[in-house]
Every structure is written in C-alpha cells, then in structure tokens.
Structure 1
Amino acid sequence: MEKDKPKGRRPKRTKAQIDDCINQAAVAEIIEKGFSDTILYGIIKRAKIEPVVFYNRYKSLELFYDEFVKSKDYWFENLLKEIDEPQLSREELTKILVSLIDVLDKDSVMLELLRWEVASENPTTRRSAALREFHTLPLAKDYENLFKNTEVDMLSLSALVIGGIYYLELHKNLSPFSGIDLKTEEGRQRIKDAIRAFVGILFDLKDEKLRHERMRGRMKEKGLSDADIEYCLNLKD
C-alpha cells in the first residue's frame, strides 16, 4: 500500500502578494465590522499570516491605517486624472458631485472611513480629513474665483452639497430620507438629477450676471446715464 504523501507547504508568497493579502483582509474586516471594531488579530487571521509578518511591515494597526486610508479615500484625485484640463464648467462640476455618489455607493471602505471620522477623533482620522481637504480645496477655490463677482458663495454651497451627500450615504441603511431611498437606483437618480438642476441654477445666475455686465457696458458706450441703465436692467425697484 502506498504511503500517504506528506502535505506540501503552501507556496511561498512574494512581498507584494503578502501586502495584497493584508490589504484585502483589511478591506473585508472593515466592511464587515467598521474601522472602530476591526482588530489586528482579525486582519492577520483573514490574511493567513503570522503576526511577525505584519509587524515586520507596520509597528501597529494605527500605523497600518495611516498608509491604508491613503489609497482608499482620494476619489477626487482619481477623478481629476480623467480630466486633462479642468474646465470650471457646469458639466465638470456636475460630474464631480455626481461621481461622489457613485464612488460612495461602490466603495464601502471610503464610506466606513467617513463613518469612523464622524465617530472617532484620533491622529489617523484627523490626518485623513485634513488630506481630503488638501486635495479638494484648490479646485473649490477655483470655482469660488469663477463666481467671485456674483452673490454665489461657492465654498459654502459646495460644502453643503458634499456634506449632504456624505450624510445621505451614511444614513441610507437606516431609513429613507425625505422619502428618498438611496439604496435604490431610483433614489440615487433623484439625487443626481437634483444636483444637475442645482448646479444649473448656479451657473445660470453667473451667466445672467455676466450678461447684465455686458449690457451695462454697451449702454454706457451709447451714453445712457446710470439711472437709465439701472432702470433698463431692472436692477432696482
């Protein structure tokens, strides 16, 4: 009778493969339990590695998170890579805001990161929030400058819209909000349509302001008085 052959060792994994296993294990644990309730043992067990293998790379779970979140949060930076030259247009702003809904719907880790930031203040969450601000603020200021001669406060309005999207996504598993269920395609589409309409209103206001300024200049050239210009443009009661 042929003797049973000894079980072979698991093929040795490369450094890159081990790193990938750790990251995949972390994703699975975080989606299942959230950042706050994920423990190092769970990641190590799921990745099928010895503790020493993890500690050879990271001194603690917190230091691992510092690196991990950098690759999971920058939807905005990735989106900008798809845009050759920012156009500062209604189409571009709509695409940015609508894409955030799609990203949060597909990327549960980013959503859990936002949940963790709201629930827990620690060096990692503070750093993550600060880096997100660092990446998004420059373009937000470009849009603020685009609307500088209007009554539209783009920084405040963009904060309200993005913050609203964050909250709706975090809230969606609890109940519908204002009768809109973001767990459904119909609900997500309603919010996207509202964003398109809102951005359209803002740009229409800007365009109307510019149109009035051009008309004012032409009336000046024709010798109309300021009072007549104001009357014609209906800028005063």
Structure 2
Amino acid sequence: MGPQRKYNGPKNNSTRTMQKFLDAVGEIITKYGYSGLVIKNIAEVSGLRRSQLDHHFGNINNLIETYIRNKDYWVGFTQQVTELIKQHGGNYGRELAESIMINQLDYFYQNREMQQVILWQLCERNPILFRIGEEREQLGERLFNMTDPHFHGTDVDIRAVSALVIAGIYHLVLHSQYNDSLFCGVDISTDQGMERIKRAIRLIMSNTYESARTQKAENSNTQSGRYRATKTPVRDRRRRSYRPSSQIKKR
C-alpha cells in the first residue's frame, strides 16, 4: 500500500479543482485556439465533470472570463495602478509609459495564450472580451489622467501615440508568431530584432514627451513677448533741477 495523500481540507480541494479547469483552458487555447473552448474539451483535458465546472464557476463563460482576467496584461495593473500613479505622477508618467510598453511587448511575445485571446477579440464580437476591453479602457483612463496635464496646450496627442504603439506591438508579435516572417526587415524572434523595437519604443515615447515640453516653452515665450509688446510705455519725465527763486529771472 502506497503512502496516503494528506487531506488539506475542502478549501484547498476547491482551489485545486478550479486551477485544473483554468489550466485546461490554457492548454486548449494554446493547442486549438479559442474555437476549442467547449465544455467537452475542457472536461476531457481537466479530467473533471461538467457538474464540477458549474459548481465552481457557474458556467463555461465565467470560467473563460476568469482565465482571461488572470492572464491579461492590462487587467493585471488594476491592483497596482493607484500606487504607480503616486510613484510616477511627478513626471507625468514619462518613465512609466515607456516601461509599460516595453513590458507589454515582452509579455505578449512570450504568452501564447494571450496571443490567441487577442486574435479572438479581433475576429469575433464576444461579450466576455467586450467587458474585459472596457475594463482595460477604464484602467487606461486612470493612467491618462496622470499623463494628460503634460500635453495640455500642445498639439501632441499622447493617447493617439499610445494607441499606435500598443496596436503595433500586437501586430508585430502576431505577425512574427503566425507568419514567421520579417516586418519592415525586422525579425523580433531574434534578440537583435527585439532590441531594435524596444529602442524605437523608447525613442517614440521620449520624443513625444519632449515635443510637448518644447511646445509649452515656446508658447510661454510667445505669450511673454506679446505681453511686453502690448504693455503701455511710461513717458519719460524730465527732471528739473531746483533753482532758488533769486536765480529765476523776472519778466
């Protein structure tokens, strides 16, 4: 008779069961894509019953949503965003914006499951993905509230720049992983190619912030010049030297 497994209580059993379901979702989406996420496949891969899935998650959609929330790069910032804003608000998130973009590139490139999730989001309107997309937008709004003041009064649009960088990251990674080809002569599957993209991200974000700073300085100088030009000049008054009345000629 082999050694008996230690019973760690119903809570631990429940946690292990839930994790088996979540692991099954990850395995299926990696091998078969989002189209393979059906109850039959999940039960088979997890080795568990549908009744257990319903007991722990309510239904398959809740299971999938829980999985995506646990994996999503942006949703993962939800618990940290308040502290990050406190740490980086002094420079309007300049360093934070750059590091978020570069870390997203690394995370998305290495995470096959999230690549499939983004493909799913691009190909199909799904209520689960819509809700998560809205949550990403709410998180982004909190971060933009920190960065926006730096760009007020300029024509530099940090939101549009961020949209292009993030979309570019998604496309570059998906193009590399599923087409196995170069993009503009850059191969991000190599260390050299990946570093080229990271340098470009740093340059884009740095130039974006610097351009806004320069425009604000120029606007300030222009307004100062206008103020000086419109200021009413004070007439010079001749100073008359004092002369005693005896020296004044009488007419």
The reply to whether TM is greater than 0.5 is: yes
> Superposition RMSD on alpha carbons, in Å?
2.7
How far has the Cα of 1:22 moved from its partner? 1.3
CA distance in structure 2 between the aligned counterparts of 1:187 and 1:58, rounded to whole angstroms: 42
How far has the Cα of 1:146 moved from its partner? 2.1
CA distance in structure 2 between the aligned counterparts of 1:34 and 1:78, rounded to whole angstroms: 29
Gaps of 5+ in 1: 227-237
1:6-45 matches, within 5 Å, as 14-45=13-44
Deviation digits for residues 171-223 of structure 1, max 9, x if unmatched?
212122111122222222111100111111112212212322443466567x4
The TM-score normalised by the length of structure 2 is 0.76
Q: Flag the structure with larger Rg.
A: 2
Gaps of 5+ in 2: 232-251
1:192-203 matches, within 5 Å, as 192-203=198-209
Residue 144 in structure 1 maps to residue 145 in structure 2: no
CA distance in structure 1 between the aligned counterparts of 2:29 and 2:80, rounded to whole angstroms: 24
CA distance in structure 2 between the aligned counterparts of 1:154 and 1:77, rounded to whole angstroms: 21
How far has the Cα of 1:150 moved from its partner? 0.8
Whether the 8 Å contact between 2:54 and 2:60 is mirrored in structure 1 is no
Task: Note closer, same or farther for the CA distance 1:93–1:205 as it changes in structure 2 (3 Å cut).
Answer: same
Residue 91 in structure 1 maps to residue 95 in structure 2: yes
Q: Single out whichever of 140-149 and 98-107 deviates more from structure 2.
A: 140-149
Deviation digits for residues 125-168 of structure 1, max 9, x if unmatched?
22222222122122124323320211112222211111111111
CA distance in structure 2 between the aligned counterparts of 1:75 and 1:108, rounded to whole angstroms: 17
Q: Single out whichever of 204-213 and 193-202 deviates more from structure 2.
A: 204-213
How far has the Cα of 1:36 moved from its partner? 2.2
Aligned twin of 1:77: 78
Aligned twin of 1:234: none
CA distance in structure 2 between the aligned counterparts of 1:82 and 1:40, rounded to whole angstroms: 39
Whether the 8 Å contact between 1:94 and 1:195 is mirrored in structure 2 is yes
Q: Single out whichever of 150-159 and 43-52 deviates more from structure 2.
A: 43-52
Percent of counterpart pairs with the same letter? Answer: 22
CA distance in structure 1 between the aligned counterparts of 2:20 and 2:6, rounded to whole angstroms: 14
Aligned twin of 2:138: 134
CA distance in structure 1 between the aligned counterparts of 2:137 and 2:116, rounded to whole angstroms: 18
Query: What is the DSSP-based 3-state SS (H/G/I as helix, E as strand, rest coil) of the residue aligned with 2:182?
Result: coil
Whether the 8 Å contact between 1:58 and 1:64 is mirrored in structure 2 is yes
Whether the 8 Å contact between 2:30 and 2:113 is mirrored in structure 1 is yes
Residue 204 in structure 1 maps to residue 217 in structure 2: no
Q: Single out whichever of 58-67 and 115-124 deviates more from structure 2.
A: 58-67
Whether the 8 Å contact between 1:25 and 1:47 is mirrored in structure 2 is yes
Task: Note closer, same or farther for the CA distance 1:116–1:10 as it changes in structure 2 (3 Å cut).
Answer: farther
Residue 106 in structure 1 maps to residue 110 in structure 2: yes
How far has the Cα of 1:38 moved from its partner? 2.6
The TM-score normalised by the length of structure 1 is 0.80
Query: What is the DSSP-based 3-state SS (H/G/I as helix, E as strand, rest coil) of the residue aligned with 2:154?
Result: coil
